[in-house]
Chain A
Amino acid sequence: MFVSYTIVNPLTIIRTTRRLPRKGEVLARVGDPVEPAHIVAQANEPPDFRIIDVARELDVPVKKTATCVRVKDGDNVNEGDVLATRGGLGARAVRAPISGVIVGKGRGRLWLEAPPTLIRLNALVPGTVVTVLPGEGVVIETVGAHIQAAWGNGREAFGVMRAVVRAPKNPMRPKHIDASAQGAILVGGSKIDEETLEHAIEMQVRGIIVGSIPPSLMKRLETVTFPVIATEGIGDMPMCQAIFDLLRSIDGREAAVSGQWQAGSSFKRPYIVTPMPTQAGNPVDPESPPAVGNRVRVLRGPYASASGIIAEMPTGAVPLENGARMPGVYVDVGKERAFVPFANLERLL
């Protein structure tokens, strides 16, 4: 039985793929040591452009536009420069609506392209480049703590971690965010509300990590410039104890936080990586089957977000609260033993 997993590991070998949103040029090479701000690859954003219908603007037949056009392919033009003119009675001129380069003409039209803007991809995670993905990006290897989360708002940052609540069930409140939070990545407990978020923006925090995000806040978070990530998902759930404990243990250390999340075929998961000054980490093994004693997290149902240990692996299906029968395991969650179907179980590696 294959069970899904989440990495929550204090010391492991982490391979982070950094990929450009479109084909470009990789600047780093295999073996290069990189720091978070190091630019490892770059690409051109598709430039702005204008199609200028010279024939229509000058009111001349398409065949005659060639005699009116005053620029040629490859010419650099500034906004307002004359591109084409028609003399005689009712003389007119067509001017460049933007600065750029003439990249094509034909059928009475000109194609004017603005200078391209460069997309720069930073390393985000300090480490060593171990693989170059030609034209796409790099894979960076780091030894340190690694936590995978459930949802993020797409932003990324590198900064100092700061735990602001004492228990994973405590929500983050405005009172937790004082002047010392400026530039820090804050670790909360269960959730954050709108008031606290606005206060965090005002205090210029660098990132927020909480257990869950209310659905009503998701749209607002898309416009926030720093990463906000939820380790458990959407709603009002306490942060999983195992994740909270690990985040508390790296309080005061620097961490790379990626809030990029994507479902389906371009699947991406938010993560937190804290480099450690050691080479002693072991890679996680996601392929091993679940067994008694494994550390797990419950994904759904009455014990959602609770972490515990597999205590028993019954054979056959067991009835659930809603009447369905599913195969699964018994998990010791605190002082209770709960049955969790395999589908709603996640190993913590």
Chain B
Amino acid sequence: MPEESSIESILIADCGTVITKLLLLERVEGNYRFVAQAETPTTLNPPWSDISVGIVHAINEIEQITGRPLYLHGRLLTPRHNLQGVDAFVVIMSAPEPLRLILAGLVREMSLESARRTATATYTNIQAILSREGNMRSPQEMWARVIRDSEPDVILLVGGVEGGATRPVLELADAIALASYMLEKGQRPMVLYAGNSALRARVTKLMGDITRIEVVDNVHPAIGVEHLGPAQVALERIYAEKRLTAAPGVDTLSQWSRLPVQPTATAFSRVVDFLWRREGNPDRGVLGVDLGAANTIVAATFDGRPYVTVYSRGIAYGPVAWVQEHGIAPLLKWIPEDIEEEEVLTLLHNRALRPWTVPQEPRELWVEQAVVREMLRSALAVAQSTWDTGRATQVSGMMPRLDPILVSGGGIVHMPRPGQALLTVLDGLQPLGISTVLLDVNRATPALGAVAGVKPLAAASALEAGTLVSLGTVLSPLGRAHHGDTILKVSIMYEDGGKLDVEAHYGEIEIWPLLPGQRATLELRPSRRFDVGLGPGRGGAVQAIGGLVGLIVDARGRPLVLPDNVDQRHRLLNRWLWDVGG
């Protein structure tokens, strides 16, 4: 690969569970821009079983679009020579199956809860939880049976605060060693020990030559204290080693580029962190959500602390299991017309059978949007349990101050109208205060996160050059009033000197004109009982930037409550839909 300073063209492959996307980023008149993109089905699974097949398909499409040779004699042409090839090639991936994980610990509400939060930071599927709780006659036999039947890749062993319990942790370690010993050598799980540090040597000795063990800092060193970082980093590394580099076809890709394959979630989180640093406002966090076919990524940065959560359900492969867990009622309540449960279930099942398909009729779209709302809500609930929102905290248990909010993923980006995308995001995330909502229209954000590791300037330049499109600035006041009461008065002072005085009423979504790129100063005057992000009853002037939808006041209250009466609910949902542009 050439030196960073001479990199002018970067090809990025984003291999999702269903779709592989290829993007060509190039320097054009001093700025980096996406000049071509192509999509093909991901070919990790049968009948291809080779991730490089789909990438080569997409490269051929990009060659046709740009008229530039990129691939010759079974190889990507790199580095670039004259008008052939590219300077760098990076691959991000979420396509492989998640790590199969068993959590082992002492108390579910303490160390095991920390272990669960650790596991959400990367692509994992928790197969079982082994704990010391309950009165088990032969716990070791039960644990061994669970380990054998679950066939985990990794056992995350936690437990014991620093200076605390030792014997129960050793018993668990002993059972793990015993169960591992009984498995074929190639099938033994590795052990990641993140418990009481006083036991590191003894736990390591217990595992002996039986299975591989890694030791990291205690995830729960004291009561009420969590220290998840080192265990999260270790799990991400193990995922990369066991899933990314081992994926069929990655050996071919590694002949084209020396850069390691990165998890999509890591790359996405890097962009969210970059946005926080660009905004430079310690009183606000930045949130990013990427809704994929099999996973929902929630990335956030508060006070310079980045957080990433991989919720192991997405828009295609998650909903059937989600309905089994939560019932179908939460989905039905978002659909603005009469629909039978069986019809919704049918659509969800068929979406899993053919995850690449798109909704064509309005009813299919309503179901898809209902799924997006509930996946966002569920993913956010998992993510919020890992956040320390610091100075961005507004009201305990509610959303912190977030600006901007970045949304990505086919399920949102492919919605027919920007207002529908915005409404779905507002219903799913229910932000508070003042937020700009940015849409990743080309689904390029994770790719830019990968580029940032090769050429940070190129990633920053592409972000500034229109990769993210604003849907609008959203004001979401917090408070309670009667439906129709005036809760906020706004004077919109446009850059060109124009002024518009408007009022927002409780229970409504109000939209006022503020075009993409247009700036305005908003003079906010909330009623006494409402907080628009500046403190209860406090007003003030804030800057706002327009978007595809405009300036939005979501005055529907938090948490958002839908009427139980079906007719009333349908009328309300249809009105909100109408308000945001249909």
Contacts and interface: CB of A to CB of B under 8 A. Distances in A.
Interface of A: 2, 4, 17, 23, 46, 49-51, 53, 103-104, 107, 109, 111, 113, 150-151, 214-216, 218, 233-236, 263-268, 286, 299-302, 320-326, 341, 343-344
Contacts of A50: 141
Nearest to B352: A263
B27 interface: no
Contacts of A53: 138, 140
Contacts of A267: 45-46
Contacts of A286: 47
Given A4-B41, A49-B144, A51-B138, A234 B353 contact: yes
Name which of B96, B174, B350, B415 has the most chain A CB atoms within 10 A of its CB. Answer: B350
Interface stretch (B28-36, B280-288, B341-349, B462-470): B341-349
25 contacts: A2-B41, A17-B46, A46-B149, A49-B144, A107-B174, A111-B178, A113-B182, A150-B353, A215-B342, A233-B353, A234-B345, A236-B346, A263-B352, A267-B45, A267-B46, A299-B357, A301-B360, A301-B361, A320-B360, A321-B361, A324-B358, A324-B415, A325-B416, A341-B360, A344-B357
Contacts of A113: 182
Contacts of B186: 23
B309 to A, nearest CB: 20
A337 B156 CA distance: 57
Given A215-B342, A323-B416, 11 more contacts: A4-B354, A4-B356, A46-B148, A49-B148, A51-B140, A51-B144, A215-B346, A215-B349, A216-B342, A264-B45, A322-B364
Contacts, number: 126
B361 A264 contact: no
Nearest to A233: B350
B96 to A, nearest CB: 6
A265 B358 contact: no
Instruction: List the 9 shortest-distance A-B pairs measured between CB atoms, nearest first.
Output: A301-B360, A323-B416, A235-B346, A234-B349, A265-B97, A324-B416, A267-B45, A51-B141, A215-B345
Nearest to B149: A46
A151 B354 CA distance: 11
B181 A263 contact: no
B212 interface: no
B294 interface: yes
B581 to A, nearest CB: 10
A100 to B, nearest CB: 13
Contact of B96 (A17, A265, A302): A265
Given A215-B342, A265-B44, A300 B178 contact: no
Contacts of A263: 317, 352-353, 355
Given A51-B140, A322-B364, A300 B359 contact: yes
Contacts of B361: 301-302, 321-322
Contacts of A324: 358-359, 365, 414-416
B357 A266 contact: no
A12 to B, nearest CB: 14
B455 interface: no
B360 A302 contact: yes
A218 B140 CA distance: 36
A151 B184 contact: no
Contact of B182 (A111, A218, A300): A111
A235 B350 contact: yes
B62 to A, nearest CB: 13
Given A103-B182, A263-B317, A265-B44, A343 B415 contact: no
A23 B317 CA distance: 28
B362 interface: yes
B57 interface: yes
A111 B174 CA distance: 14
B17 interface: yes
B353 A344 contact: no
B399 interface: no
A291 B256 CA distance: 32
A320 B45 CA distance: 31
B88 interface: no
B228 interface: no
B234 to A, nearest CB: 23
A343 B17 contact: no
A306 to B, nearest CB: 13
Contacts of B144: 49, 51
B141 A321 contact: no
B150 to A, nearest CB: 11
A289 B357 CA distance: 18
A154 to B, nearest CB: 15
B95 interface: yes
A49 B182 contact: yes
Contacts of A218: 349
B66 to A, nearest CB: 17
Nearest to A235: B346
B360 A265 contact: no
B142 to A, nearest CB: 9
Interface in B385-422: 414-417
B40 interface: yes
Contacts of B138: 51, 53
A325 B413 CA distance: 12
Contacts of A344: 357-358, 360
Interface in B40-83: 40-41, 44-47, 57
Interface string B493-530: 00000000000000000000000000000000000000
B41 A264 contact: no
Nearest to B344: A215
Nearest to B361: A321
A301 B97 contact: no
A233 B349 contact: yes
Contacts of B181: 104
A275 B360 CA distance: 38
Contacts of A264: 17, 45, 97, 294, 317
Nearest to B342: A215
Nearest to A107: B174
A322 B362 CA distance: 5
Nearest to B355: A263
Given A50-B141, A265-B95, A321 B360 contact: yes
A17 B365 CA distance: 37
With most chain B CB atoms within 10 A of its CB, the pick from A111, A218, A263 is A263
The residue among A234, A267, A322 with the most chain B CB atoms within 10 A of its own CB is A322
Given A51-B178, A216-B342, A265-B96, A233 B354 contact: yes
Contacts of A343: 356-358
Contacts of B40: 2
Contacts of A215: 342, 345-346, 349
A232 B291 CA distance: 27
Nearest to B47: A286
Contact of A265 (B45, B184, B365): B45
A17 B47 CA distance: 10
B358 A326 contact: yes
Nearest to B347: A235
Contacts of A325: 416
